[in-house]
Each structure stands twice: as structure tokens, then as C-alpha cells.
Amino acid sequence: MKVILYMAMTANGLIAKEDDDVWFVSKNSWKSFEKLMKKCGNMIIGRRTYEISVKDGTFPYSCFNVVMTKQKIENKWGDKVVFTNKKPEEVLRFLKKKGFKTAFIGGGGTLNASFMKEGLVDEIYLDVEPVVLGKGIRLFADSDFEAKLRFIEIKKLSKNEVQLHYKVVKQLFRHKQN
């Protein structure tokens, strides 16, 4: 199964402010994000991103929503939402069993890192917003991985924003073990 990670970020690689504010994410980027998410038919998010989305009224998304958490959270959303404590690889197997061909990873930084660390991400889309921030939440939380990327495409989302599309080079993937 193909795994796509899609994030909007500042020019210095932050996906939100320290207080989770994402004011810098443009409408164009949201539209593009939603389009690909709907095409994939699913989205995997971390528990913090879930809680923020509930607060701002965007949850559940118009797709099959998988929320990863080690906590027991009551599902009051129906059968389009699943809370799971499965490992990243198991989550992908679960989605494959449900008939999805592509898994869509929708953040945040901790969740992104846990999939990268296992070498499970095939493609990365990054919408680069014309903003830098001194503090904030990183695209990938601190984690022990290294990956090479191959450039696929650059798209202009607006006069001021670009979308980078990369393939993760799996053969060169090395996860350093201490």
C-alpha cells in the first residue's frame, strides 16, 4: 500500500506555532490537502491533532479517520472514525484490509515521525508557506531516522506558495540503532 504524508509548513519546517495555531496555512493549501485526502479516502492523525480538530470544528474529516493514541478514547463519531493503539505498520495493514490503496498521513509532528522512523512513508507533499517562525511544532518530532528524498514535482499554489512533492528513497533508508 502506498503511504503519503502531506503537511503545510513554514519555510523553516514548522507545522504549527507552540500554541498549535496554524494561521499561516493558506486556503489554497487546505484545499489541496483536502483534495488529496478525499482521493485517498482516509486519513491517519495523532491524538493531539484530533483534539485540535475537534476544537476547531473540522473533525471528523470527509474520509475514514484513524486516530492513533495509546489512550482509551470513547468513539462518539460513528463508523467513519477509529481510535487505535496499533503500531504504524498494523494501521496500514488494517487500512489495506478495508480496501484502501493509499494511506494518507495528516500529522502532527509526533505521528509523522513515528511513520518515518519505521520507513513506511513513500511520498511527501510539503506546502511551503511564506512565513518563518522562531518557535513551534516541527514537521517531524525528534526521532532517530534519516531518509533520502527524490524530487518529483514543484507546484505553485499561489504567487507566494509552493508545493514540494518528494518520493522517499527506500533503499537508502537507514535507521540508526544505538
Ligand X SMILES: NC(=O)c1ccc[n+]([C@@H]2O[C@H](COP(=O)([O-])OP(=O)(O)OC[C@H]3O[C@@H](n4cnc5c(N)ncnc54)[C@H](OP(=O)(O)O)[C@@H]3O)[C@@H](O)[C@H]2O)c1
Cα 30 from Cα 123, distance rounded (Å):
18
The H or E element containing residue 45 is strand 42-46
Candidates 4, 105, 111, 116; binder of ligand X (CB under 6 A) is 111
What distances in angstroms separate CA 139 from CA 1, 9, 107, one per listed residue? 23, 7, 8
32 binds ligand X (CB under 6 A): no
22 binds ligand X (CB under 6 A): yes
37 binds ligand X (CB under 6 A): no
Cα 106 from Cα 65, distance rounded (Å):
10
Candidates 3, 42, 48, 61; binder of ligand X (CB under 6 A) is 48
x-or-dash pattern for ligand X, window 57-96, by CB under 6 A? -----------xxxx-------------x--x--------
Cis peptide bond upstream of 108, omega within 30: yes
Binding residues vs ligand X (CB under 6 A): 7-9, 15-16, 20, 22, 25, 45-49, 52, 68-71, 85, 88, 106-111, 114, 137, 141
